[in-house]
Structure 1
Amino acid sequence: MSARGREPTHRPAVLVVNTRSGGGKVSRFRLIERAERLGAQVTVIGEGQSASSLAQAAIEQGAEVLGVAGGDGTVSAVAAVAAATGHPLLVIPAGTRNHFARDLGLDIRNPARALPALLHADSARVDLGVVGSRVFVNNVSFGIYAEALLEPGYREAKARTLASIAPAYIEGQHRVEATVDTPWEAIDFPQVVLVSNNPYQLSPPRRVGCRFALDTGLLGALVIKRPPEPPDLLPTLHRALRQQAGADPAETGVITWSAPQVVLHGAVPRLPAGIDGEPIELSLPVRCEIRPGALRVLVPKRRTGVRRRLTRPADFGVGG
């Protein structure tokens, strides 16, 4: 957590915006106009541009606060720059799922409610996950079901789509071509490996996939050793997760633990993965690590979704 104290006001802020995120939330909530009205400079990610390069350019041009409007993938790119340069980050949840923003206590239904932090904000230190040279604010996933697994309100359409490819999944065609070390044993060719920046809640059902803390200094790890049988694929996975506390992994096929590092290794040269929902291939061995308190975040003083005390008082502002 950051130390108590007042920060100087009128700090130049640049908001990096991904207009393609979240099905048009940036336009629907008029985020660009509202941010500019509060004194922020807005830069929109264009064709062939990256969020990280725009964030770095903003720092070089004198920005003292970095903002980002987009989904977890865009947020992680700007967060990496903010952490590396020691600048605070303000998150506007303009993506589809907005896991990181949700766990910061932001209102993910109305991203405009995060904008007042441009004028007056609370400040906190949170952890960042790192895999190779990449930062992740939410998770790194391996295996076709990893992302769907921790969606609390998955849609029936999603369940049907996943069930349609269940035969290949059951036959092991979608296994992770690697070995993951756990505190109990090394698991060869698991079905799913998911590593999160701080551990997820696995119960009750409506809290599955939420993080009540972002500053534990630990990664959350989840491995599914074998697939459940169709046709109730996702419900079976969710039941296994809810039963995991105190259950025998040999019976559930699910292993969860917390650690500062998680390692996958194997014979294949590269492993398909998702970093905060963005597809990538990673060279083996894959080392996922935690950087405690690496990122300073700014959040509005009133947060409708807050689940824990996250903040230390501090005033921030932008010129205008």
Structure 2
Amino acid sequence: MSSRARWPARCADRSFDGSPVDCRPEPSGRVKAMSLRADPRASVRAAVIMNPRSGGGRVEQFRLVEVAEQLGARVLLAGPGQDAGALARQAVSEGAEVLGVAGGDGTVSTVAAVAAESNRPLLVVPAGTRNHFARDLGLDIHDPAATMHALRDGEQARVDLGLVAGRPFVNNVSFGVYADALLSPGYREGKARTLASVAGPYLEGRQWVDASVDTPDGTIERPQVMLVSNNPYHIATPRYLGWRFALDGGVLGAILLKGSPGSAPPPLPRLVRGMAERGATPGGEGLITWSAPRVTLHGETPAVAAGVDGEAITLALPLTCEIRPGALRVLLPVRRPGLPQEPRRPRPPGRLSPRPHAG
């Protein structure tokens, strides 16, 4: 399958120094790159926040500190007593014009919030374990050092940012099994084991998200699993299950798992195996999917456990997830893999595609 560079879909109309940027498409269809001066010391002031513990030590493995410093960037290391968000705000207060972040999706999300708030471009360096946001930006997740060359010759794009109860997220907010796994002792040390220990009761209907969710099919009471993403996930084909082929669509994606009244939802292994083998279909067994600018959860309990970009948190009810179109500026290397063309599977007879919901 051929690959094409899908980003940037939108371009900021000003460069770092305030001068206009030509955002007209090149003949190739890609937005014209905004090039920085060849000597980084004479151009932008960049600060890169790095989490050395992310991804099993990818910061050290790929010598990211040295690469960043060679490109003229200042490096700030996050860790115990050194919060990534606080370091990003410190960098902005000290004059950083670009914020970079090398770490997992949780670290990326934290620094992205500061970048959006301060209107600074964000350089995402894929130094975590999964690197979902970097992958969906079309970056080379196998060579994080290559991404940092955007500091020398990069181009900007605007992408959406999700919000849950006012807290930004770049990937998703999960309620239910994954959220409870995040809150379980030992999750960081044994993710698969912890997830398995809490999944069974949820998928057997003995545990649930203690909230109600407004969907296009009406209000669903106490679903087993609820996932809200910054732009919809692809679930139609197995090869690209869980990818996002756009981050500027201006809508959230929602996936809800709920069994029929009086019966348990499908066992988790069967559901996952079926999605891996066939993809998933809206209206399939126990599954509801839709897209909307906002998703609301409410209920009689005061709060609900959630995982925000992989970080555990407790959120007060009622709560609203919403999308902020184009709220985040990202700085991308001109040379990057891009995203493949999104595959489309034939529509099964009598089944409809995910429908927008006014929310």
Measure, in 2, the Cα distance between the counterparts of 1:213 and 1:84.
22
Measure, in 2, the Cα distance between the counterparts of 1:231 and 1:139.
22
Aligned to 1:74: 107
Unaligned runs of 5+ in 2: 1-9, 14-20, 23-33, 38-42, 182-189, 260-264, 342-359
Query: Higher relative CO (CA 8 A, sep ≥ 6), structure 1 or 2?
Result: 1
For the Cα contact (< 8 Å) 2:35–2:153, is it kept in 1?
no
Aligned to 2:333: 300
Q: Which residues of 2 match residues 182-197 of structure 1 at below 5 A?
A: 182-197=215-230
% identity of equivalent residues: 58
- Asked if 1:244 is matched to 2:281, the reply is yes
The equivalent position to 1:116 in structure 2, one of 123, 139, 149, is 149
Q: 1:237 offset after TM fit, Å?
A: 5.4
How many residues are treated as equivalent by the alignment? 295
Secondary structure at the residue paired with 2:177?
Answer: coil
Q: Which residues of 2 match residues 1-320 of structure 1 at below 5 A?
A: 1-2=10-11, 3=13, 4-5=21-22, 6=34, 9=37, 10-145=43-178, 165=198, 167-226=200-259, 227-229=265-267, 232=270, 234-236=272-274, 238=276, 242-245=279-282, 249=283, 252-307=285-340
Q: 1:65 offset after TM fit, Å?
A: 0.5
Measure, in 2, the Cα distance between the counterparts of 1:235 and 1:17.
36
For the Cα contact (< 8 Å) 1:265–1:284, is it kept in 2?
yes
For the Cα contact (< 8 Å) 1:127–1:292, is it kept in 2?
yes
Q: What TM-score do you get using the length of structure 2 for normalisation?
A: 0.77
Residues 84 and 270 of structure 1: CA distance in aligned 2, closer, same or farther (over 3 Å): same
For the Cα contact (< 8 Å) 1:146–1:193, is it kept in 2?
no
**Letter in structure 2 aligned against 1:228:** P
CA offsets per residue over residues 12-61 of structure 1, 9 Å max, x none? 00000111111100000000011101110000013122111110110110
Measure, in 2, the Cα distance between the counterparts of 1:264 and 1:258.
15
Aligned to 2:187: none
**Letter in structure 1 aligned against 2:109:** S
**Letter in structure 2 aligned against 1:242:** G
**Letter in structure 1 aligned against 2:141:** I
Measure, in 1, the Cα distance between the counterparts of 2:117 and 2:168.
11
For the Cα contact (< 8 Å) 2:177–2:198, is it kept in 1?
no
Q: 1:279 offset after TM fit, Å?
A: 0.5
Secondary structure at the residue paired with 1:252?
Answer: coil
Measure, in 1, the Cα distance between the counterparts of 2:233 and 2:128.
20
Q: 1:118 offset after TM fit, Å?
A: 1.1
For the Cα contact (< 8 Å) 2:232–2:244, is it kept in 1?
yes
Q: 1:201 offset after TM fit, Å?
A: 0.5
Residues 64 and 183 of structure 1: CA distance in aligned 2, closer, same or farther (over 3 Å): same
Residues 259 and 189 of structure 1: CA distance in aligned 2, closer, same or farther (over 3 Å): same
For the Cα contact (< 8 Å) 2:160–2:230, is it kept in 1?
yes
Measure, in 2, the Cα distance between the counterparts of 1:162 and 1:50.
27
Residues 183 and 233 of structure 1: CA distance in aligned 2, closer, same or farther (over 3 Å): closer
Secondary structure at the residue paired with 1:209?
Answer: coil
Measure, in 1, the Cα distance between the counterparts of 2:124 and 2:211.
34
Comparing 113-122 and 138-147, the one that deviates more: 138-147
CA offsets per residue over residues 255-281 of structure 1, 9 Å max, x none? 111100000001111110000000000
Unaligned runs of 5+ in 1: 149-156, 309-320
Q: 1:169 offset after TM fit, Å?
A: 2.6
CA offsets per residue over residues 87-122 of structure 1, 9 Å max, x none? 111000001101110000011122112011111101
**Letter in structure 2 aligned against 1:202:** I
Q: What TM-score do you get using the length of structure 1 for normalisation?
A: 0.86
CA offsets per residue over residues 150-186 of structure 1, 9 Å max, x none? xxxxxxx987875565542344333111000001210
For the Cα contact (< 8 Å) 1:69–1:92, is it kept in 2?
yes
Secondary structure at the residue paired with 1:102?
Answer: helix
Residues 7 and 164 of structure 1: CA distance in aligned 2, closer, same or farther (over 3 Å): closer
